[in-house]
Amino acid sequence: MQQSFSKSWIFSGLMFVGLLVGAHRYLGGLPDREERAAARVELRLTPVRIAPDAARPLRIAGAWRLTSDDPRLGGVSALAIDRGGFVALTDSGVVIRMAQPARGRQFAEFRDLPAGPGSARFKAGRDSEALARDVTGRGWWVAFENRHAAWLFDRDFTRVEQKTRLGQLGWRANEGAEGALSTTAGLWLFPEGGAEMVRVGDSGAVERIALANDQGRLADVTTLPDGRTIVLARSFSPAGFSAQLLLLNGRTLTPLATLELGRLDNPEAIAAEALAGGGTRLWVMTDNDFRRRVPTLLVALDWAS
């Protein structure tokens, strides 16, 4: 009787595990993304307080919580300066154009990417993680995780100009390119693992270059006004997220500053611009993973570089 009783617990456990696996596969097969028409919607920027020493030696110049009635605000994965404002990219294939923080009512333009390497019904098919302005002025490069590809879109994100496959690099589904830079030497991609950078030539040939990095997983990259490259990295512990700003020196990432925000604030996107009086302003945005209780933050950091 005792042996039979023990086996019944084993069979019950196996059945429970089987049900969990089946439920996961079933839910994973359900559409989790809805395409929407382009829209211009009011964007609310609420100032928030960040500790003055949260990014030393950089100075906190301002911080805002962004909210909107458009459900596409969230999951920000990349950021760029354009036309005096911002272009933000979400990891659900959405482009958000918005002005820099100012008084009065502000609006944002939301536009779904016109295409992607996977089905538009699934977030994984539009997992856009990196953004770079094409050095020749043709438009914008967008790098996708999960499907591992880099696509060139026109300046207004209305059509696809070029497609580059990256599956041959063997990256895991969720460890693809998180940052991108377009230079005269080619398109540079920075995968999340932080151990390498990849140069994609005009012919599509790829070159893998090892990185010396012990600062965390990479989230985004940007070019400083003086031509140097700054990398945003982040790490996670039971205490929450922590972000590091790193300078790329050849093949080595060296620390510049640590950015400490809220425990659940995940810095995911960075852009840079020159200040009129000298120095550089770095703009950082956080990824709330589309969770209502987690804010989307925009933080301005000034660096007297």
138-151: per-residue pLDDT in tens? Answer: 999 999 999 999 99
- The Cα–Cα gap between 155 and 85 comes to 14
The residues, ordered by sequence, that sit 6+ positions from 99 with a Cβ below 8 Å of its Cβ are 84, 85, 86, 106, 107
Is 228 buried (19+), middle (13-18) or exposed (0-12) by CB count in 10 A? middle
pLDDT at residue 49, rounded to an integer: 95
- The Cα–Cα gap between 18 and 21 comes to 5
User: pTM of this prediction?
Assistant: 0.89
Could you say which residues of the chain have pLDDT below 50?
1, 5, 21, 23-28
The sheet that has 149-153: what strands, in order across it? 128-133, 140-144, 149-153, 160-165
**What's the Cα-to-Cα distance from 125 to each of 27, 94, 174, rounded to whole Å?**
16, 12, 12
- The Cα–Cα gap between 32 and 121 comes to 6
Q: Which of 145, 134, 149 is nearest to 193 (CA)?
A: 145
31-303: CATH superfamily? Hemopexin-like domain (2.110.10.10)
pLDDT at residue 18, rounded to an integer: 56
pLDDT at residue 215, rounded to an integer: 87
Q: What is the pLDDT of residues 176-196, one digit of tens each?
A: 999 999 999 999 999 999 999
